[in-house]
Amino acid sequence: MTIDRYIFRLWLMPFLGGLVLVLGVLLLGRALKLLGSISDSAQAWSLILEMLILTMPYFLLLTVPIAFFLSVQNTIAGLQQSSEMDVMRASGISYSRMFRGFLLLALLMWAGLTYTSMVLLPQGQLGFNNILTKIYAMKGVITFSPQRFTRGFDGITIYVDGEDKQGAYRGVILEDHRGGASVIYTARSARFDMNNSQLQLRMDHGVRLEGQGADQRMLAFDKYMVSIPVAASHWIRQRSGDHVTMMTPRELWQAVGKHAPGAVAEWNRRLLLPSTVLVLFFFALPFSLTQKRSGKAGSMVAGIALLVLIYNLQLMLHRQVALDAFPGWTMWAEQGALLLLGIFLWRRAEADRLPKIFSQAGEWAYLLHQFMLHKLGRRSGEG
């Protein structure tokens, strides 16, 4: 227990510091985006604060596993650099015994994040979108918040990745189910123009998908236009069942039973995203053991690369399942394969049989770091 408490104290402050830092950066970026949209409202700051609180479940799902993994890496690398880990191993203490407390923490975080994902996340999404609906009604114009599903019209859901300086939206996804059947448009870019009571969506370089399964039809286009009615009577308050991202667990499970691809993708995402903290736990040890002269830089660079890979794989598979291109079990197969790989590498590390690439990665990072310092030193000397 003394070892557990000592290692926990080494881990706690980097974890809290990293979590606060990353959350602060994400919240500040979101606040600036929101301020640009509602700065002309007298309630701007209160609305921004409320919306930031509603986005916390999503940000926590992303940041807690990342902060946990990087702080575990920092703790393991620090123990190795100070030779404390060598002393403990020489005393007969295994890696599994040293870091069993981290596994307990990962299990507790997984349970908390699962509740956040299944319950708090859709509630936050619903509240966020309803505040946007209120803002649009006050402003009397139509705008779309980047990286958010916006459902302010009957039968229309719109998602955009971002907006350029010319006012064109990038990475547009539009789902039109006004006629009963779902039609999905994806476009590289699009512009929204008002024409009387019609919102005209002019899309460039995209795909139109209609139908499901074997009956699905696809049309690739260079330019396409969709007209959407936006009279005041069409602007409605959203309900949880309006979109899969806002559905309660029960509503989402019922939609999964109807084999809706979007619901299948969302259900699996909500369950699998919290389990990332368990996957990362098993990768922490093998990705932290580097040659001592390399310092912590090599392990941290390798860890960040692993995080980028894992989250991009999850995002790619989620999108493919939502488009009915892949079955839902592929998301579980990817997460399961990563978990098994992490356990395998942990066991190899326990037996001191890690592949050489793990120690060499730290050495490469160390040599690159020394090279950059040498180059900067030469330039400052010449200056």
Provide the pLDDT for residue 79: 86
pLDDT tens sequence across 205-223: 888 888 766 677 788 888 8
Separation CA 261–CA 259 (nearest Å): 6
- E runs forming strands in the chain: 149-153, 156-159, 162-163, 169-176, 183-195, 198-210, 217-229
Whether the predicted pLDDT of 135 surpasses 80: no
Distance CA 270, CA 286 (A): 28
Average pLDDT over residues 284-292: 78
Half-sphere exposure of 154 (CA within 13 A, CB side): 9
pLDDT attached to residue 338: 95
* 353 CA to centre of own chain: 33
Confidence of residue 15 (pLDDT cuts 50, 70, 90): very high
User: What pLDDT sits at residue 337?
Assistant: 96
Q: Mean pLDDT over residues 102-106, rounded? A: 93
232 has pLDDT over 50: no
Phi, psi torsion values for 221, nearest 5 degrees: -140, 155
pLDDT of the residue at 222:
87
Measured CA to CA, the distance from residue 308 to residue 216 in angstroms comes to 33
For the ranges 278-282, 292-296, 306-310, the lowest mean pLDDT is seen at 292-296
Average pLDDT, the chain: 80
What is the Cα gyration radius of the chain?
24
Res. 114: pLDDT tops 60 = yes
* Interatomic CA distance for residues 264 and 318, integer angstroms: 9
Q: What is the pLDDT of residue 234?
A: 46
Percent of the chain with pLDDT over 70: 74
pLDDT band at 332 (very low <50, low <70, confident <90, very high): very high
pLDDT digits (tens, 9 = 90+) for 342-367: 999 999 888 888 776 665 655 566 56
For residues 89 and 338, the model is more confident at: 338
Strand partners, 207: 186, 220
Higher pLDDT, 29 or 121: 121
- In this prediction, residue 88 has a pLDDT band, given cuts at 50, 70 and 90, of confident
Q: Name the more confident of 129 and 187.
A: 187
pTM: 0.72
pLDDT at 289: 79
Q: pLDDT value at position 179?
A: 63
pLDDT, one tens digit per residue, over 299-324 is 777 788 889 999 999 999 998 998 88
**Which of residues 164 and 279 earns the better pLDDT score?**
279
Instruction: For 18-36, write each residue's pLDDT tens digit.
Output: 899 888 888 888 777 766 6
Question: What pLDDT band is residue 89 in, cutting at 50, 70 and 90?
Answer: confident
Three-state DSSP state, 76: helix
Position with higher pLDDT, 227 vs 64: 64
Nearest one of 366, 353, 357 to 292, comparing CA atoms: 366
User: How far is residue 354 from each of residues 182, 276, 283, 348, 350, measured CA to CA in Å?
Assistant: 50, 22, 12, 5, 9
